[in-house]
Amino acid sequence: MGNKTGVRHYFAEGMTTRGYISLLPNMMPNWQRAYVLLGGPGTGKSTLIKVIGLELLDRGYDIDFLRSARDPDSMAGFIMPCMGLAMLDATEVSPLRWRAPGVVEKFIDFSMFSDERKLEKQHSKILKIENRLQGLQMTLEEELAAELGSLIGKREHKPRIEKEDIAWILGNSSRLKVKKENTGPWHLAENALKLLQKSVIMPYFLHGLTSEGWLNLAPHFLADFDQIRLEGEETLDALDWVLREAQQLGQMIEIVLHPLNPDEVIGIVFPERHLAIWQGNPESLGDQGLERPFSPKLIEALASWQTHRSQLKGIYMDTVNFEQLDSYRETVLNQILCDLKTMGCIGSRPLTE
DSSP string, 269-312: EEGGGTEEEEES-TT-GGGGT--SPPPHHHHHHHHHHHHHHHHH
Backbone φ and ψ of 209, nearest 5°: -80, 130
CB 304 within 8 A of CB 254: no
Answer whether residue 229 is part of any domain: yes
pLDDT at 147: 67
pLDDT at 168: 39
Examine the domain organization and report whether 333 and 265 are in the same domain: no
pLDDT at 249: 60
Examine the domain organization and report whether 20 and 70 are in the same domain: yes
Examine the domain organization and report whether 13 and 97 are in the same domain: yes
Examine the domain organization and report whether 234 and 277 are in the same domain: yes
Examine the domain organization and report whether 281 and 331 are in the same domain: no
Backbone φ and ψ of 94, nearest 5°: -55, 150
pLDDT at 188: 38
pLDDT at 144: 82
pLDDT at 348: 37
Answer whether residue 94 is part of any domain: yes
Examine the domain organization and report whether 263 and 172 are in the same domain: yes
CA distance 85 to 199: 21
Answer whether residue 155 is part of any domain: no
Cα angle 123, 116, 303; round to 5: 45
Examine the domain organization and report whether 92 and 182 are in the same domain: no
Examine the domain organization and report whether 272 and 330 are in the same domain: no
Examine the domain organization and report whether 12 and 109 are in the same domain: yes
Helix axes 322-341, 45-58, angle to 10 degrees: 40
pLDDT tens sequence for the chain (353 residues): 344 556 899 999 998 887 888 888 878 877 889 999 999 999 999 999 999 999 999 999 999 999 999 889 899 999 998 899 999 999 888 755 555 667 888 999 999 999 999 999 999 999 999 999 989 988 888 888 776 666 655 554 444 434 433 333 344 434 333 333 333 333 333 433 333 334 577 899 999 999 889 999 999 999 889 888 888 777 777 777 776 666 566 667 888 999 988 888 899 888 877 889 898 999 999 988 888 888 888 899 999 999 999 999 999 999 999 999 999 999 999 999 999 988 754 433 433 33
Examine the domain organization and report whether 196 and 97 are in the same domain: no
Distinct helix (H) and strand (E) counts, the chain: 11, 15
pLDDT at 5: 59
Answer whether residue 149 is part of any domain: no
CA distance 138 to 96: 19
The tally of domains found in the chain comes to 2
Give the structural domain span for 94.
7-114+321-341
pLDDT at 99: 58
Examine the domain organization and report whether 261 and 330 are in the same domain: no
Provide the whole-model pTM.
Answer: 0.81
